[in-house]
Amino acid sequence: MKVVLDSPLDMHLHLRDGDMLKNVVKYSAECFAGAIIMPNLTPPLTTIKEIKAYKKRILDFAGGLEFEPYMTLFFKDSYDYDFLKEAKSFVKAVKLYPSGITTNSEGGVKNFDMDKLRGVFEAMSELGLVLSVHGETDGFVLDREKEFVDIYENIATSFKDLKIVMEHITDRRSAVLLEKYDNIYATVTLHHLLYTVNDLLGGSLKPHLFCKPIVKTPEDKDVLRELALEAHPKVMFGSDSAPHPKEKKECNGVAAGIFSAPVVLPALCELFEKYGKLDNLQKFVSDNAKKIYDIQPPKKEVVLEKDEFLVPNICGNVVPLCAGEKLLWRCSVGSG
Amino acid sequence: MKVVLDSPLDMHLHLRDGDMLKNVVKYSAECFAGAIIMPNLTPPLTTIKEIKAYKKRILDFAGGLEFEPYMTLFFKDSYDYDFLKEAKSFVKAVKLYPSGITTNSEGGVKNFDMDKLRGVFEAMSELGLVLSVHGETDGFVLDREKEFVDIYENIATSFKDLKIVMEHITDRRSAVLLEKYDNIYATVTLHHLLYTVNDLLGGSLKPHLFCKPIVKTPEDKDVLRELALEAHPKVMFGSDSAPHPKEKKECNGVAAGIFSAPVVLPALCELFEKYGKLDNLQKFVSDNAKKIYDIQPPKKEVVLEKDEFLVPNICGNVVPLCAGEKLLWRCSVGSG
């Protein structure tokens, strides 16, 4: 049995830089036609020059694989219209991080006063730049996304022409915003479709399942599964694959991030097949994103075969999601 | 400034065995007059011979320090009256673990049918043996203690003469049982008074704060603090200090347990002083326990001085709670 996906897209991807980029980019570039590339490098990407150079490094390391890195800017309230207009030729979205909320987000937004953010949001609305948001407060960790709902609502109602993507949603209480506001969209990761707090720490503690936002409750997972399996038209797949070297994950003070890139499509196939929803996978991993972002990725057929796939224990110096496990599907790549 | 405690007691302590026992026993034996010693060794302690031998090893390694190990039996529904009557001379409590719920609990109770447990509970009631309980189900990890409330209530109402200790309570929804049932008591740990899920994984993930039951919400912590700081007469201090070697804590698949023994009394002093409740510390760390368990520990004065205490980064091969931090109080020991 085979599933052939047309130009699958990963709408939320961390590729890092340097040796790590070199190590991980192939896992995404082989199986996806394109991806939205997160800008939280050290320092974060805030200039066109940096973005062009980073994109070049990505393509160089991808070694000729057919793969379009859709670049993003790290949100700053100081950006002006002229800068964003020029940036529009090089980026698809501007990624907003609340300050300090996750890896390399220290330079993010501290104050969600709409008057302070109005200039940038109005320019983005006019230019058709997507606002991509890591929506968490610094409150109690299980409620951080829920506590951010007010900010999402405030932005959505104040800037009706701004396309807002709630990145890696995890909470049933933020998922309701998809129905409430025309201009709110979302990405969903693989790991939030598969795991809950119980998997993270219900038995022994699993540092390789530690990410931000953290995995949530079974009820939250069920709501996310419904969105993904039904290919809700406002919902896109975004892996949030975020590699850290093994020594930063198995230590005292574990870095947040799950390296899922090597397994995302096989694991999604397994999940969608289990619930009899393979027919919806194409929309979830590509068609919805193409419409929401208005993009035409390179034509690329990705073939998933129902054939045992033993996930490697380590990819370079990074432990992947499902390390050492057997998945039911494997990825092979055709060409468009 | 000094605080002098009369015969402080740790009513829930894991000392392990062999080299680990040798390494950790001094931290408790120096600062406490006695402790309730948990029986979940490998294999767990289920015979009088094993308990006597284990007690001897503890005292040998304690090297003459004034310290009474109050031993416990690992609960089995197969114990008969005669066995428990004989055991009564050597143990103060029988510790009930639901099967598989924490370290070395595989041989615990699988079925909470009261008819199956009646024989043992009736014998314990008659003999005055305390039922010490790790009260968690195998449900969603944040609700496991709450889900066990029905079982606590069932035991409390079915066996009114049985003294039941909810060990290391963590959840405001089980704390209410203290008021509802005359025969329900509780121990509270230091770490559940200090930390919540946010400390465990709100920033980077802290494997040395991973324990079972896991740390809970700020609201739960507040309820536990109220019980401890007011020295609720049905509540005793029990550290649940549970050492694992560093390599089992900083790895993939982290063992549950916090090694708090080296810091418990200084940290409790700091907490009780902060809230102006130092006068209640004696009750919380000794007097309540003496009444509830009807024990007379060795006379031992433990002096806490308000003097900076730099917690070691490692104790043998175990990372202690607050490793590398500066506490405001330090322990020194007098004699009674």
Peptide bond into A213 cis (omega under 30): yes
Average pLDDT over every residue of B11-21: 98
Over range B286-303, report the average pLDDT: 97
Kindly determine whether residue A198 and residue B256, on different chains, have CB atoms separated by under 8 Å: no
- Are A141 and B202 within 8 A, CB to CB? yes
Minimum-distance CB partner of A140 among B141, B218, B255: B218
Mean pLDDT within A214-241: 98
Q: Which one of B10, B220, B240, B287 is the catalytic residue?
A: B240
Tell me if B250 and A249 make a contact (CB, 8 A cut-off): no
From A64-78, A98-112, A124-138, A208-222, the region with the lowest mean pLDDT: A98-112
The pLDDT assigned to B275 comes to 98
pLDDT at B119 > cutoff 80: yes
Interatomic CA distance for residues A288 and A272, integer angstroms:
16
Asked whether residue B73 carries a pLDDT value surpassing 90, the answer given is yes
User: With contacts defined as CB-CB under 8 Å, which chain B residues touch A200?
Assistant: 201
In this predicted structure, what is the pLDDT of residue A280?
98
CB A115 within 8 A of CB A77: no
**In chain A, residues 42-101 whose CB comes closer than 8 Å to chain B:** none
Average pLDDT, chain A: 96
| Residue from B144, B201, B217 whose CB has the most chain A CBs within 10 Å, to mutate | B201
Confidence of residue A107 (pLDDT cuts 50, 70, 90): confident
pLDDT in tens, A23-50: 999 999 999 999 999 999 999 999 999 9
What tokens were used for B117?
A: 């447990």
Chain B contact set for A217 (CB, 8 A): 140, 142
Crossing angle of helices B218-229 and B264-274, in 10° steps, is 90
- pLDDT tens for B141-191 read 999 999 999 999 999 999 999 999 999 999 999 999 999 999 999 999 999
Q: What is d(CA B85, CA A298) in angstroms, rounded to the nearest whole number?
A: 79
With tokens 């047309």, the residue in question is: A6
What is the structure's pLDDT at B206? 98
Q: Does B247 touch chain A (CB under 8 A)?
A: no
pLDDT tens readout for residues A272-312: 999 999 999 999 999 999 999 999 999 999 999 999 999 99
E strand or H helix at B60? helix B48-62
Please confirm, yes or no, whether B113 is among the known catalytic residues: no
Asked if A210 is an interface residue toward chain B (Cβ–Cβ < 8 A), one would say yes
Q: Say what angle helices B114-127 and B149-158 make with each other, to 10 degrees.
A: 60
Q: How high is the pLDDT of residue A335?
A: 45
pLDDT of A58 over the 60 cut? yes
Q: How far apart are CA A185 and CA A177, in angstroms?
A: 8
* pLDDT at A100 (0 to 100): 84
How many other CB atoms are there within 10 angstroms of residue B159's CB atom?
20
Q: Which of B105, B143, B204 to mutate to test the interface with A (most CBs of A within 10 A)?
A: B204
Distance CA A214, CA A256 (A): 9
pTM (predicted TM-score): 0.96
Q: Is B278 on the interface with A (CB under 8 A)?
A: no
Residue B291 has pLDDT above 50, yes or no: yes
Residue type, A196: T
The residue type at B214 = I
Residue A334 confidence (pLDDT) above 90: no
Task: Name the residue among A22, A148, A61 with its Cα closest to residue A96.
Answer: A148
The proportion of chain A whose per-residue pLDDT surpasses 70, expressed as a percent, equals 99
CA A199 – CA A302 distance, rounded (Å): 30
Cβ of A205 under 8 Å from any chain B Cβ? yes
CB A95 within 8 A of CB A125: no
The amino acid at residue B155 is: I
How distant is the Cα of B323 from the closest Cα of chain A, in angstroms?
11
B114: contact with A, CB 8 A cutoff: no
Location of structure tokens 């996978």: A281
* pLDDT at residue B335 greater than cutoff 50: no
pLDDT band, residue A333 (cuts 50/70/90): low
Residue B247: other Cβ atoms inside 10 A: 10
| Contacts (Cβ under 8 Å, ≥6 apart) of A30 | A65, A331, A333
CB-based contact B199:B210 (threshold 8 Å): no
CB-based contact A164:A155 (threshold 8 Å):
yes
pLDDT of residue B106: 84
Q: Which of A10, A171, A240, A287 is catalytic?
A: A240
Between CA B231 and CA B21 the distance in angstroms is 30
* Helix H or strand E segment including B301: strand B301-305
List pLDDT tens digits, range A185-194: 999 999 999 9
**Domain A7-268+275-297 has what CATH class?**
alpha beta
- Provide the residue ranges of all domains of chain A, joining segments of one domain with +: 7-268+275-297
Q: What DSSP state is assigned to residue A284?
A: I
What is the homologous superfamily of the domain B8-294 according to CATH? Metal-dependent hydrolases (3.20.20.140)
**The predicted structure's pLDDT at residue B336:** 41
Q: How near does any CA of chain B get to the CA of A213, in Å? A: 9
- Interior angle at CA A27, CA A23 and CA A30, nearest 5: 125
